[in-house]
Chains A and B, each alone.
Chain A
Amino acid sequence: MNLLRAEWTKLRSVNRWMLTLLAAGVLTVGFGLVAASGGRTEINQHPNFIVGPKGQPVLDDFMFVHRPLSGDGTIAVRVVDQADSHEWAGAGVIVKQSLTSGSRYALVMTTPRHGVRFRSDFDTDIPATAGLSSRWLKLSRSGGTVTGFESADGASWRELGRVAFTEGTVEIGLFVSSPPHRVVERRPGGATTTDNPTVGTAVFDNVTTSAPGRWSGSDVRGPGGYEGAPTTPGTLEERDDVLTVHGSGGIGPNPPDDDPVSAGLYGVLMGLMAIIAVSVLFVTSEYKRGMILTTLAAHPGRVRMLAAKAAVAGTAAFVVALAGSAIAFLVTQPLLRDNGFRPPAYQPLSITDPSVLRALGGTAVFVACVAVFALAVGVIMRHSAAAITTTVALVILPTILSIALPPAVSKWILQLTLTAGFALQRAKPPTNTVEPWANLEPWSALTVCVAYAATGFTIAAVLLRRRDA
């Protein structure tokens, strides 16, 4: 406790450092504003998506083998075979409000690599058990509810979930979908994204339904297709109660890849530079002025002293980054909204949304890890210019490299350097199509940051104990 207080006093009493930390917060907000003022999107003027039941941008393209259903009813089927045309290709049973793309639905489907899923209305996704080659799927509509089931033998059914659904006449039947395969190329001078359509194939038998009538096949298609990608018309073959269906497209949420949360956090990069400088100087100036001798005389436990220093530097960085990025978020969102980041393509965000909180908290943890790492490098090198250059090189320079490299290579570089932390600024899922560091999962980015901080701290602790001060 005394150690912590001593280190905090050292940090607090150097006016320049406190001013720099304050400046780090101001830079985070200020440059966030600069970036947000320059940001612009025209996606709402030229939409490549359709709007789902809740006003969100969605993708709703598939081959639908359907008949009308009024009132209660069920459909059950066995998926005999499904081609592995795309990891998220779907084949199964569906009830849909109408044949219009974007209308409400509930479905149970098999996928080649993600098992059986029960999904509805572009936001519910319930996974079931995976791994069986032959699958029985069932949907049952009763009043305003639809229930999804799966079975290994068609006799004993396991309930996957139930969702509220629209009343009145709906369409019920089978469907096949297969999203396009996306290829992103990045090289010096820019990136290109190409969507190559894929065609899914599935074979169904044992189709039983309470809905009367005959099957008819039709493609459900949004105006733009999958982000403007061409899709292939679906087909239906019916022979001896075996149905073979080809279809392409996908069903699900389809938000643009640009993330207004990380867009508002561009200033963190600037604030980070100031925090690196303070964290390094926090220890190298002790060496420069010989203060380290006094410090070690007062607290001979060197590792504990380093731990206290790291705790103080990390906490200060965390607080500054959290406050800075929270304010940056609040001030940039209205600006981004004016620049085109608004519904339906971009849903309004609140600072209390879990994804936003995760992005802000993750950013603060990232900055704290960099601060601890910078401090450790300062102990290892005992030279402020060398320590700052090294830390900056591991945070900033890989970003410049990754802009010009193919996604696979840049992902590999990012996973080896502290730049990975910028992935924590995103509130949306990872993607290859925007900033290169957006392609890391948040948890793997967090692992990289913590690993750097922990490794740096360990090496610094060992050297601090072994070396003469």
Chain B
Amino acid sequence: MRSLANAVHAEWTKLRTTPSTVWLAAGSVGVTIAVSLLMTVALDPALCPTEATCQADPPTVALFGVRIGQALFLVLGVLAMGNEYGTRMIQTTLTAVPRRLTVVAAKLAAVVAVTLILAALAVAGSWATWSAVNGWAVLPHSASMWRAVAGSMLYLVLIAVLGLGVGAIVRETAVGITIVTTMLYFAPLLLMFVKNPLWQLRIQRYTPMNAGLAVQATKDLAAQPIAPWLGLGVLAAYAAVAILLAAALVKWRDVN
């Protein structure tokens, strides 16, 4: 247990002192809030005069920045592992902590801790922006809106974990970022064209971004393609598979 604590501390130091982390931290929070603000302002006020009569689903607008800001969360995740291989730091890391699964667990813990804080800032900031613009109470006051807000935070953390896993699998930041970005963004664009109801349902249920963001829904839940927590569960499954495969590969593969 002691060794795990030390390993987590080491990972935290590495993450904290990498110059890109500072940029990503500021960028992920800033971009998320800025895009949420843009969407909030762009929404026609006639559509959402009061909370009770709002035609749009408020969290999908208020937290829209999550869709864009997630790109930086995934980069943070990929870099956490990709940088180790890019700089050959991994050799030093594994010399210091020979138990490889401990290294992966420590990395996971550090990334989750850091992104949880960033996600909380980004999502809470977005929601506060929406509340301020629309004159709503600052705190969400229904269970479903709490779910949307908390779920969006978890969503961003899971995206970073997915990035971490893929980064460890491909061992190259460039490749990892490209793969995860494509995984996330292809499906929503495909939905612009795909009109076959069966395919639409498949895309909305089983692709990481569309399924995961189901957690933001608060209205017409019966008509949604997938239940909110279940959708986030689909994303969690993607992240879990990636991180488990990464752990297995880190354990069994040669370092180079």
Contact = CB atoms under 8 A, between A and B. Distances in A.
Contacts of A409: 42
B174 interface: yes
B199 A38 contact: yes
Given A269-B189, A405-B42, A396 B82 contact: no
Contact of B174 (A269, A384, A396, A397): A384
B39 interface: yes
A39 B194 contact: yes
A315 interface: no
B130 interface: no
B243 interface: no
Interface stretch (B99-107, B121-129, B137-145, B178-186): B178-186
Contacts of A385: 20, 75, 78-79, 82, 173-174, 177
Contacts of A258: 193
B152 interface: no
A39 B198 CA distance: 11
A206 interface: no
Contacts of A263: 193
B195 interface: yes
A392 B71 contact: yes
B51 interface: no
Given A188-B61, A288-B86, A435 B174 contact: no
B68 interface: yes
B44 interface: yes
Interface stretch (A29-37, A65-73, A86-94, A151-159): A29-37
B6 to A, nearest CB: 28
A266 B78 contact: no
Nearest to B192: A435
Given A34-B190, A40-B196, A396-B185, A281 B60 contact: no
Contact of A270 (B174, B186, B192, B195): B186
Interface in A180-206: 185, 187-189
A277 B20 contact: no
A230 interface: no
Contacts of A39: 193-196
A189 B190 CA distance: 15
Contacts of B61: 187-188
Interface string B37-76: 0110011100100000000110011001001100110010
A370 to B, nearest CB: 13
Interface in B25-47: 35, 38-39, 42-44, 47
Interface string B204-220: 00000000000000000
Given A35-B193, A38-B194, A273 B178 contact: yes
A392 B192 contact: no
A277 B47 contact: no
B182 A273 contact: yes
A464 interface: no
B199 A37 contact: yes
B56 A187 contact: yes
Contacts of A189: 56-57, 60
B175 interface: yes
B190 A35 contact: yes
How many chain B residues sit at the interface, stated as a range, is 35 or more
Contacts of A266: 189-190, 193
Given A37-B199, A40-B196, A396-B185, A388 B177 contact: yes
B164 to A, nearest CB: 14
Interface in A242-291: 258, 263, 266, 269-270, 273-274, 276-277, 280-281, 284, 288
A392 B181 contact: yes
B188 interface: yes
A406 interface: yes
Given A37-B199, A38-B190, A187-B47, A273 B181 contact: yes
A73 to B, nearest CB: 49
A399 interface: yes
Nearest to A281: B174
A208 B182 CA distance: 66
B185 A389 contact: no
Contact of B35 (A41, A401, A434): A401
Contacts of A34: 190
Contacts of A386: 20, 23
Contacts of B181: 273, 392, 396
B42 A406 contact: yes
A399 B189 contact: yes
A400 interface: yes
A397 to B, nearest CB: 5
Nearest to B167: A385
A38 B72 contact: no
A393 interface: yes
A404 B64 contact: yes
Interface in A139-190: 185, 187-189
A364 interface: no
Nearest to B62: A188
B68 A400 contact: yes
A440 interface: no
A189 B67 CA distance: 13
Nearest to B87: A288
A403 interface: yes
Given A189-B56, A273-B181, A400-B185, A388 B42 contact: no
Given A266-B189, A273-B178, A396-B185, 10 more contacts: A38-B190, A39-B193, A40-B195, A187-B56, A263-B193, A270-B182, A273-B181, A386-B20, A389-B71, A435-B193
What 8 A-B pairs have minimum CB-CB distances, sorted nearest first? A38-B199, A38-B194, A40-B196, A385-B173, A277-B178, A384-B174, A40-B195, A273-B182
Interface of B: 20, 23, 35, 38-39, 42-44, 47, 56-57, 60-61, 64, 67-68, 71-72, 75, 78-79, 82, 86, 173-175, 177-178, 181-182, 185-186, 188-190, 192-196, 199-200, 203
24 contacts: A38-B190, A38-B193, A38-B196, A40-B194, A185-B44, A187-B42, A189-B56, A266-B190, A273-B182, A277-B178, A339-B196, A385-B78, A386-B23, A388-B174, A388-B178, A389-B71, A389-B72, A392-B181, A397-B68, A399-B185, A400-B67, A401-B35, A401-B38, A403-B192
